[in-house]
Amino acid sequence: MTEKRLTPLAASLPATVPFVGPETQERARGSTFAARLGANENVFGPSPSAIKAMERAASEIWMYADPESYDLRAALAAHHGIPSECIMVGEGIDGLLGYLVRLFVGPGDMVVTSEGAYPTFNYHVAGFGGALVTVPYRGDHEDPEALVARAAVVGAKLIYLANPDNPMGSWHSAKTIQSAIERVPAGSLLVLDEAYVELAEDGVAPAWDVTDSRVIRMRTFSKAYGMAGARVGYAVGSPEIIAAFNKVRNHFGMNRAAQAGALAALADQAYLEQTCRNVADGRERISQIAAQNGLAALPSATNFVAIDCGQDGTFAKRVLSALVSQGIFVRMPFVAPQDRCIRVSAGRPDDLDAFEALLPKALTEARG
């Protein structure tokens, strides 16, 4: 039975889930995964001081969080050398993207993204009635020039660009990104998703310019800071854009312990650097495992590696299914030609031991 009282827009939406969670898959297969390398989580987790801060906050959880996230915003402002009023803290980048789309995109408004880029952004655009226009990846990279050009042609309200990219792990230089920002057409806003940027080398993130209202940048504690389950992201932009979030956001939506954890995580930059080294080691190991099996791993500036399985999406899907059925949770890109790859998180040595042990079997199964 359909629910007739929904708005026409809501009635038209499918009750889809952008991603099926690993727990759902574990329930379906009747056992837990031996290695959880599919959800772009950072297995190295947060700084011990962040864990302590969250433990301490557990006994204070009777209090609502500060709806202004004042302390966290102040610390982020100091860290980045930008004013607090250019920062909005929210329930992960996913939550912030939902608010942003709601603010800028009404029914029929055009939005540009890459074919095969972040599905949750697309979900929000559809959810507010926006019309999505895509441009293809170019050599496994998002194509900033084409995105901006397409936005000018269709009069897009938003342009989505992730740097580094998910699901391919590729990246552009700060110069290339800055050049795209300079060419954002009037009336459009570039959503620069930098979820993975702390894991990239220097020279990937443009310098901050919070006077530039052509771009809003998304950052998170879910990836390099290892706190995906806490739900803390932040947007950085011009004060006018940032203030607009107060029109629609769930003001008391933040978890109090998560705020405390993020504050402590930010303060421990030495741990972040260690994580970056651990992740780099994991990426290197994944490349070696791929090579041992005659496959090529794509260069990555993130905490995951896309492995080119050497055939089409159907074949990669078979490899993925064989891995999943043997207890290795991985995912893969959604569209061709990126879907020739599987995507594997930079795990701990034992996670990657398990992957190394099972990949040959999975390839044999997929080929057979």
Q: What part of residues 129-168 is at the interface with a copy of itself (CB under 8 A)?
A: 157
Q: Count CA atoms within 13 Å of residue 367 on its CB side.
A: 10
- Work out the number of other CB atoms within 10 angstroms of the CB of residue 10: 11
- Work out the number of other CB atoms within 10 angstroms of the CB of residue 72: 25
Q: Which is nearer to a copy of itself, 18 or 299 (CB)?
A: 18
First vs last C-alpha separation in the chain: 44
Burial readout 222-234 (b: 16 or more C-beta within 10 A, e: otherwise)? bbbbbbbebbbbb
Query: Contacts with a copy of itself in 203-222 (CB under 8 A)?
Result: 213, 222
- Least Å distance, CB 201 to a copy of itself, is 23
- Least Å distance, CB 366 to a copy of itself, is 27
Query: Contacts with a copy of itself in 80-109 (CB under 8 A)?
Result: 91-92, 94-95, 98, 102-106, 109
- Work out the number of other CB atoms within 10 angstroms of the CB of residue 357: 13
Burial class (CB in 10 A: 0-12, 13-18, 19+), 3: exposed
Q: Which of 77, 134, 174, 253 binds a copy of itself (CB under 8 A)?
A: 253
Q: Which is nearer to a copy of itself, 55 or 273 (CB)?
A: 55
Helices (H) and strands (E) in the chain, counts: 13, 12
- Work out the number of other CB atoms within 10 angstroms of the CB of residue 248: 12
Contact characters 314-343, a copy of itself, x per CB under 8 A: ------------------------------
Q: Does 198 bind a copy of itself (CB under 8 A)?
A: no
Distance CA 71, CA 59 (A): 19
Q: Which of 83, 187, 349, 360 binds a copy of itself (CB under 8 A)?
A: 187
- Residue 161 parent element (H or E): strand 158-162
For residue 212 the two structure tokens come to: 């530039």
- Residue 281 parent element (H or E): helix 269-292
- Least Å distance, CB 360 to a copy of itself, is 27
Distance CA 2, CA 135 (A): 35
Q: Does 31 bind a copy of itself (CB under 8 A)?
A: no
Q: Which of 13, 77, 276, 335 binds a copy of itself (CB under 8 A)?
A: 13
SS3 assignment, position 304: strand
Q: Which of 188, 300, 326, 338 binds a copy of itself (CB under 8 A)?
A: 188
Stretch binding a copy of itself (CB under 8 A), from 190-198, 243-251, 290-298, 333-341 = 243-251
Task: Count residues binding a copy of itself (CB under 8 A).
Answer: 87
Distance CA 309, CA 286 (A): 13
Query: Contacts with a copy of itself in 109-128 (CB under 8 A)?
Result: 109, 120, 127
Query: Contacts with a copy of itself in 265-324 (CB under 8 A)?
Result: none
- Least Å distance, CB 134 to a copy of itself, is 21
Query: Contacts with a copy of itself in 35-74 (CB under 8 A)?
Result: 36, 39, 41-46, 51, 54-55, 57-68, 70
